[in-house]
Structure 1
Amino acid sequence: MGSAGTRGTVTGTDTADRDPAIDLVRLVCLVLVVVGHSMMVSPVLHPDGTVTTENTLAEQDWFEPVIWIFMVMPLFFVTGGITGLQSWRRLKAGGGTAAQFIRARLLRLVRPATALLATMVAGLSAAAALGVDRQVVQLVATGAGMPLWFLAAYLAAQLNIPVLAALHHRAPWLTLALLAGLVVAVDCFRGALPDLANVNLVFVWCAVQQLGFLAADGYLAPLSRSGLVGVAVAAHLLLGLVTGLGLYRGNMLVNLNPPNLTLVILGVSQLAVMELARPVLAPLAGIRWIARLLQLAGARSLTVYLWHLPLLGAMSGLLLLTPVPKPSSGTAGWWWSRPLVVLALVLLLLPATAAFGRLEERTTAPQAFRCRPAAAGAAVVVVFIPVADAALNGLSLGLLAAGTVCFTVAILLLGGLPLRRRRAVPGGRKRGPGKRGPRGIASGVK
Structure 2
Amino acid sequence: MRYKVRAAVRAVEERTPPHRDRAVDGLRALALLAVPLGHWMLGGFTRGPQGALHNASPLATLGFFAPLSWMLQLLGIFFLVGGCASVLSLQRATARGQPAGHWLRGRLVRLGRPVLGVTAVWAALLPVLALCGVPETTLRTGAVLVVQPLWFVAVYAGVTALTPYCVRVARRWGAWSAVPLLTVVAVVDLLRYGPFAQQVPSWTGLVNLLPGWLFGYQLGVCWGAGRLRRKAAAVLCAGGGVLFAVLLVVFDYPASMVGVPGQSRTNSHPPSLLVLALASVQCGAAVLLRERIGHALRRPALWAPVVAINLSAMTILCWHQTAMLAAAVPGAALGTVPGLTTAPDSLGWVLARLAWLPVFAVSLVAIGSVTRRFETPWRGAGRGARAVAGALAAAFALYAFAVV
Aligned to 2:184, which of 178, 182, 185?
182
User: Residues 59 and 214 of structure 1: is their aligned pair in 2 closer, same or farther, counting only changes over 3 Å?
Assistant: farther
What is residue 210 of structure 2 aligned with on the other side? 202
Q: Indicate the larger mover: 77-86 or 326-335.
A: 326-335
Offset, 1:49? 6.3
Return the offset for 1:306: 1.0
Q: Report the equivalent of 2:256.
A: 251
Native 8 Å contact 1:142 1:396 kept in 2: no
Cα deviations across residues 235-258 of structure 1 (Å, max 9, x unaligned)?
Answer: 111111123232633321131122
Q: SS where residue 372 of structure 2 aligns?
A: helix
Structure 2 counterpart of 1:358: 373
- 2:130 and 2:255 map into 1 onto residues whose CA distance is 39
The aligned residue for residue 335 of structure 1 is 350
Root-mean-square deviation (CA), in Å? 3.0
- Alpha carbons 2:100, 2:164 under 8 Å: kept: yes
Q: Are residues 102 and 32 of structure 1, via their aligned partners in 2, closer, same or farther at CA, if it must alter by over 3 Å?
A: same
CA–CA distance in structure 1, aligned partners of residues 274 and 400 of structure 2: 34
Structure 1 CA distance for aligned equivalents of residues 212 and 360 of structure 2: 31
How far apart, CA to CA, are the structure 2 residues paired with 1:107 and 1:252?
Answer: 30
Q: How far is 1:222 from its partner?
A: 5.0
Matched, 1:232 2:240: no
The question of 1:349 aligning with 2:364 is answered yes
Cα displacement string for residues 204-237 of structure 1 (whole angstroms, at most 9, x for unaligned residues) = 11121111122223344352xxx85564233111
Q: How far apart are 1:188 and its partner, in Å?
A: 4.0
**Conserved in 2, the CA contact under 8 Å of 1:43 and 1:317?**
no
Alignment partner, residue 134 of structure 1: 136
Normalised by the size of structure 1, how large is the TM-score?
Answer: 0.73
Residue aligning to 1:261: 273
Q: Which runs of 5+ in 1 are unaligned?
A: 1-13, 366-381, 402-446
Looking at structure 2, the residues matched to 47 and 277 of structure 1 have their Cα atoms a distance apart, in angstroms, of 51
Q: Is the 8 A contact 1:141 1:396 kept in 2?
A: no
CA distance in structure 2 between the aligned counterparts of 1:400 and 1:359, rounded to whole angstroms: 26
TM-score by structure 2 length?
A: 0.80
What's 1:217 paired with? 225
**Which residue pairs with 2:330 in the alignment?**
318
CA contact (8 A) 1:81 1:212 kept: yes
Query: How many aligned positions are there?
Result: 360
| 1:170 pairs with 2:175 | no
| 2:304 matches 1:292 | yes
Distance apart, 1:82 and its partner CA: 0.7
8 Å contact from structure 2 (residues 29, 310) kept in 1:
yes
Change (3 A) 1:103 1:229: closer
Partners of 2:170 and 2:227 within 8 A in 1:
no
% of aligned pairs identical?
Answer: 23
* Aligned match of 2:82: 80
1:342 CA drift (Å): 1.3
Structure 1 match to 2:152 = 150
Residue aligned with 1:356, SS: helix
